[in-house]
Structure 1
Amino acid sequence: MDILYLLIPLSALLVLALLGVFGWALNRGQFDDLDDEGLRILQTDDLALDQRQPPADVSLQESP
């Protein structure tokens, strides 16, 4: 029963920390444009990730 005196304040501090991180992310604009960020991974990049890597072959990509 004595452990509750430790666990209840720790859980309250954890909730406040999580709310603080969420508020920080909200103010930094992390949730401003959810639709475009979800579609961005589906778009192809023609740029090579490495200088030694050949560019993406356009003929292998499916057209929408």
Structure 2
Amino acid sequence: MDAFLYLVPLSLMLGAAGLAAFLWSLSDGQYEDLDGSAERILYDEGRPTDPRDRAVAQPGERESRADFASAE
């Protein structure tokens, strides 16, 4: 029974902290554009769709990081 003296206030504080985090995320705009990020990855124009379009290093030739970054 003594455990309830600690567990009830602790659970109320954790619930209040969760509610405060949720309200903060609402006011920060986290839920304004739910579909934008999910669809944005499907329409990424920066990468080639065909892997044969990428520059391929010849045997014995090592690809540098700058070349790799520009291929993406």
Q: Output the TM-score relative to the length of structure 1.
A: 0.69
Q: Which residue of 2 aligns with 1:24?
A: 24
- Unaligned regions of 5+ residues in structure 1, if any? 57-64
Percent identical pairs in the alignment equals: 37
Q: CA deviation at 1:43?
A: 2.4
Alignment partner of 1:55 is 2:71: yes
Moved over 3 A (4+): none
State which structure, 1 or 2, has the greater radius of gyration over its C-alpha atoms: 2
TM-score (norm 2): 0.63
Where does the alignment leave 5 or more consecutive residues of structure 2 unmatched? 48-64
Root mean square deviation, CA, Å: 2.0
Work out which structure has the larger RCO, using CA pairs closer than 8 Å and 6 or more positions apart in sequence: 2
What is the number of equivalent residue pairs in this alignment? Answer: 54
